[in-house]
């Protein structure tokens, strides 16, 4: 029995369902018998769709899963995109290499104006490649995110958690958990893996926060991004001069010097690894705290046996909220049949993992937050297929250690404001909190 299976078995106790969060859209969409025109009977909806409130998924997702799970919508520029809303169709699409991840493809779907121009001329990374390039480049980095390597890091991650909790304990209350704990947990781990000097942690964290903050101006965010790129270039050159035992040093010694990767390509990958996913891990910590406090039965179960329940909690919060919900986009390289529809060559798709993670055919009482859910391993918050997130195992370990440490140190932690006063991300953006004031 795996560690996760054993933990679930130790923790499992069924609880009753809550009423569904998903509301009806109104009149049922008329369906054509021709699969190619099924979504053209009425005007196509705009995408991205909006959450109706706080962290509740867009209401349209539940309706589409029932009436037209593979359907078309309109993007900001009037172009079409296929929405993949059911779990089985999402997994099929993401495993099908007739769908390409290459963002420089002229018909690759982008969600905002300017995204296409930003991609042009930029050094691609493995997340935007298809095989064989994907195979070669991802293979250089995978061992630092494999389960065995991450488990060796668990004591280090636990130490980061303790250090941050010590700082919270010394601080004046209330504390913004997002800044004091959630973000630094993720940052400190990846900095160590990459071999970033400790004295640069604060500079990098401030710049990454500026780059990703919704409250930053476009000019400030762009300036922060350029500073990060410049820093990564200096870091890679320093690793070339004085290599150590970290990831970047190893790749310099084994791949850069052998011509398997160029300096510019390594800089681009270093930038990717330092910025990608860390904000998502922070969101999952924040949202996990909010959900546990809102569900006393789940919190009580977790406190009773945190070691056993932490793996299920980490997976369930990722399923329940899917904080990176707009990234699974592809373009068809040839005609593909999916979910009863014909997706034509050069048409774009988005696999909606937030919707698939609420698919009632896979997850019983899907709108119930349940840390003892036996089928939680089917969650697709990290994607599926060859492009499944390289850092999934690392993220889950960070979440486990964060929740165990936080509720172990502060068992009476609570929100410092009413839940209705929490500031949520824009309703069409990935779900998240701008801040999380807590006290104890």
Q: What is the pLDDT of residues 175-211, one digit of tens each?
A: 999 999 999 998 999 999 999 998 898 888 888 777 6
- How does strand 341-343 pair with strand 99-100? unpaired
Whether residue 81 contacts residue 350, with contact meaning beta carbons closer than 8 Å, is answered with yes
37 noted as active-site residue: no
Whether 61 is in a domain gets the answer yes
Given the residues 280, 283, 322, 355, the one annotated as active site:
280
Q: What is the token pair recorded at 256? A: 């850069």
Q: Please give the backbone phi and psi of residue 337, each rounded to the nearest 5 degrees, phi first.
A: -90, 125
Given the residues 22, 309, 318, 389, the one annotated as active site:
389
pLDDT at 2 over 80: no
pLDDT at 26 over 80: no
The per-residue pLDDT for 204 is 85
Per-residue pLDDT band for 225 (boundaries 50, 70, 90) equals confident
The per-residue pLDDT for 388 is 97
Annotate 327-348 with b (16+ C-beta within 10 A) or e (fewer). Answer: bbbbbbbeebebbebebeeebb
Nearest Cα residue to 160 out of 395, 391, 404, 401: 401
DSSP 183-217: HHHHHHHHHHHHT--GGGHHHHHHHHHHHH-TTS-
The per-residue pLDDT for 214 is 54
Given the residues 92, 130, 359, 430, the one annotated as active site:
430
pLDDT at 13 over 70: no
Q: How confident is the model over 164-174, as a mean pLDDT?
A: 97
The percent of residues in the chain predicted with pLDDT above 70, rounded, is 89
pLDDT at 1 over 50: no
Cis status of the peptide bond prior to 174, with omega within 30 of 0? yes
Whether 24 is in a domain gets the answer no
Mean pLDDT of the chain: 89
Per-residue pLDDT band for 121 (boundaries 50, 70, 90) equals confident
The per-residue pLDDT for 21 is 27
Whether 22 is in a domain gets the answer no
How far is 346 from 403, CA to CA, in rounded Å? Answer: 43
Residue 2: C-alpha distances to residues 6, 208, 311, 319, 335 (Å): 6, 36, 11, 20, 40
Q: How confident is the model over 364-386, as a mean pLDDT?
A: 97
The per-residue pLDDT for 114 is 85
Query: Which of these ranges, 219-228, 229-238, 353-362, has the smallest mean pLDDT?
Result: 219-228
Domain tally, the chain: 1
The per-residue pLDDT for 30 is 33
The per-residue pLDDT for 215 is 54
CA dihedral 58, 63, 65, 71 (to 10 degrees): -90
The percent of residues in the chain predicted with pLDDT above 90, rounded, is 78
**Eight-state DSSP code of residue 46:** B
Whether 23 is in a domain gets the answer no
| Dihedral sign of CA atoms 48, 51, 55, 57 in order | negative
Given the residues 85, 189, 322, 324, the one annotated as active site:
324
Whether 268 is in a domain gets the answer yes
Whether 109 is in a domain gets the answer yes
Whether 20 is in a domain gets the answer no
pLDDT at 409 over 60: yes
Only one residue has tokens 């406090």, namely: 293
324 noted as active-site residue: yes
The per-residue pLDDT for 10 is 46
Query: Which of these ranges, 37-46, 127-136, 153-162, 336-345, has the smallest mean pLDDT?
Result: 37-46
Whether 21 is in a domain gets the answer no
pLDDT at 416 over 50: yes
Whether residue 83 contacts residue 71, with contact meaning beta carbons closer than 8 Å, is answered with yes
Range of the structural domain that residue 337 is part of: 3-13+30-439
The per-residue pLDDT for 16 is 30
309 noted as active-site residue: no
Please report, for the domain that includes residue 289, its CATH number: 1.10.630.10
71 noted as active-site residue: no
Q: How confident is the model over 92-98, as a mean pLDDT?
A: 98
How far is 427 from 197, CA to CA, in rounded Å? Answer: 37
């Amino acid at each position: 029995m795996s560690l996760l299976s054993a933990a679930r078995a130790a923790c499992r106790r069924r609880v009753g369902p809550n009423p569904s969060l998903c509301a009806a859209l109104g009149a049922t969409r008329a369906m054509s018998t021709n699969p190619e025109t099924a979504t053209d009977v009425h005007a196509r909806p705009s995408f991205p769709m909006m959450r109706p409130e706080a962290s509740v998924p867009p209401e349209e997702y539940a309706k589409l899963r029932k009436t037209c799970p593979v359907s078309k919508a309109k993007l900001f520029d009037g172009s079409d995109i296929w929405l993949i809303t059911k779990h089985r169709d999402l997994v099929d699409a993401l495993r099908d290499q007739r769908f390409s991840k290459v963002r420089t493809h002229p018909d690759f779907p982008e969600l905002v104006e300017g995204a296409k121009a930003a991609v042009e001329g930029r050094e691609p990374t493995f997340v935007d490649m298809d095989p064989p390039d994907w195979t070669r480049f991802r293979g250089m980095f995978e061992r630092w995110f494999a389960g065995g390597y991450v488990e060796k890091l668990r004591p280090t991650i636990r130490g980061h958690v303790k250090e941050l909790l010590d700082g919270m304990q010394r601080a004046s209350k209330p504390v913004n958990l997002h800044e004091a704990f959630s973000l630094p947990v993720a940052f400190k781990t990846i900095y160590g893996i990459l071999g970033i000097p400790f004295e640069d942690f604060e500079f990098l964290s401030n710049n990454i926060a500026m780059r990703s903050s919704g409250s930053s101006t476009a000019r400030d965010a762009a300036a922060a991004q350029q500073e990060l790129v410049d820093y990564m270039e200096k870091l890679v050159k320093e690793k070339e001069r004085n290599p150590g035992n970290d990831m970047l040093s190893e790749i310099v010694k084994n791949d850069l010097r052998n011509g398997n990767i160029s300096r510019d390509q390594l800089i681009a990958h270093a930038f990717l690894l330092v910025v990608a996913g860390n904000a998502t891990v922070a969101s999952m910590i924040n949202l996990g705290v909010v959900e546990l406090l809102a569900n006393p039965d789940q919190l009580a179960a977790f406190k009773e046996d945190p070691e056993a329940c932490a793996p299920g909690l980490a997976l369930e919060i990722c399923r329940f909220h899917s904080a990176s919900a707009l990234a699974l986009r592809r373009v068809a390289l040839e005609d593909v049949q999916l979910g009863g529809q014909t997706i034509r060559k050069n048409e774009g798709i988005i696999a909606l993992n937030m919707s698939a993670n609420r698919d009632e055919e896979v997850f019983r009482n899907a709108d119930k937050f349940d840390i003892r859910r036996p089928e939680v391993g089917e969650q697709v918050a990290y994607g599926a297929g060859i492009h499944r997130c390289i850092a999934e195992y690392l993220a889950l370990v960070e979440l486990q250690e964060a929740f165990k440490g936080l509720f172990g140190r502060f068992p009476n932690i609570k929100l410092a404001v009413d839940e209705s006063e929490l500031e949520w991300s824009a309703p069409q953006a990935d779900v998240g909190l701008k801040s999380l004031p807590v006290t104890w």
